[in-house]
Amino acid sequence: MVQNMLSSSRLREFKQLREAAMDKLVERLRAEAEASHGAVWVLKNARFAVFCILLFMTFGVDMDEETVDRIDQMMKLVLITLDPRIDDYLPILSPFFYKQRKNALDVRQKQIDTLVPFIEKRRAFLRDPGSDPKAASFSYLDTIFDMKIENRNAALSHPEIVTLCSEFINGGTDTTATAIEWAIARLIENPTIQSRLYEEIRATVGQTRKVDEKDVEAMPYLQAFTKELLRKHPPTYFSLTHAVTEPTRLGGYDILPGLNVELYLPGISEDPGKWADPEKFDPDRFFTGREDADITGTTSVKMIPFGAGRRICPGLGMATVHVNLMIARMVQEFEWSSYPEGSKVDFGEKLEFTVVMKKALRAKVSPRV
């Protein structure tokens, strides 16, 4: 996945796909606003756009909206069903959780039955490239079909391929869509920040041309805004689990090899010993150079929204491309304000697969001239 799918050169091959998804996002927002007196659900629309991109990157086959929605509902069901249960940790209690286990197995079978036809459709395309003119020239599946399991010298089974594809899609969908919802909430709360962002977009691309990925690289205020967004709203509370290879001491505790180490991300990115006024949402801390941080944790650990080290999130590059482009297009096309008008944004949060807004954000959009 890292070498063959998420490298910068490979990501560039899907540039047109992302642009088409952004156009579709704008159309959906405009249509929903026209039908609802200007009101739109932010997370739902952002999630659909990202999900479409990742589905096509994974399977390389074109899908209509009904099919996309059907797969999306199935993926959500999988994530809900995967909530940990006590018998995961104490197997002796498993007889008391028979119904829950049976339900989990039924959902798993539904997941397999839903995705296998698209796996086989891609396999058929690779045998006959002229069979589907809308298919991608490359997909994540292409990198999986040739893999072999060393200890059995065999190709991956359908369930194994389904699991790998689901990880790729789920890992990049909710994290990005959640970031977009928090971003819009912050822009509504801070109209001055929204105005500065829009002025930077206009200064970069003018009044008629759509923002593209190259433009985003020339927008320092947007980059600062996204960095502050990831500082205040990392996708999850904890980084991917780490462990040590030899006995060590951390924070006054003895850590033995093999023990799980969970890093609490907000405890780092909101540490008053590392940040000036950490509670304030302030892109200027990065824009003016007053403060800085390496989000990969390579030079210093002041914020690690994607984790750090060898276990850093492999989708970091893809996520930042998606988040920057979506914010730029959404601000270029619409002015965002609270709904109902004059209401305050509720920044309460809850943990689902990612840290989401406790009350889903519904915002008012006004198309810009």
Q: Which residues are annotated as a binding site for heme?
A: 313
For 52, other C-beta atoms within 10 Å of its C-beta total 21
Counting runs of H as helices and runs of E as strands, what totals does the chain give?
A: 14, 9
The CA-based diameter of the chain, rounded to the nearest angstrom, is 65
Give the whole-angstrom CA distance, residue 315 versus residue 322. 11
Structure tokens at 18: 């992302």
**Whole-Å CA distances, 245 to 119, 229, 334:** 38, 33, 51
Q: What pairs with residue 41 in β-bridges?
A: 362
CB 74 within 8 A of CB 117: no
- Is the previous residue joined to 129 through a cis bond, with omega within 30 degrees of 0? no
Pick from 301, 328, 333: nearest CA to 234:
301
Task: Tell me how far apart the alpha carbons of residues 238 and 232 are, in angstroms, rounded to a whole number.
Answer: 14
And the tokens for 11? Answer: 């990501």
User: Residue 18, exposed/middle/buried by CB under 10 A (0-12, 13-18, 19+)?
Assistant: buried
H or E element in which residue 94 lies: none
Integer Cα distance of 55 and 163 in angstroms: 14
Per the CB < 8 A criterion, the answer to whether 179 and 321 are in contact is no
Q: Using CA atoms, how far apart are residues 234 and 42, in angstroms rounded to an integer?
A: 18
Strand residues in the chain grouped as ranges (E): 39-41, 148-149, 154-155, 248-250, 253-255, 334-338, 349-351, 355-357, 362-367
Show Cβ contacts of residue 126 under 8 Å, excluding neighbours closer than 6 positions: 142, 145
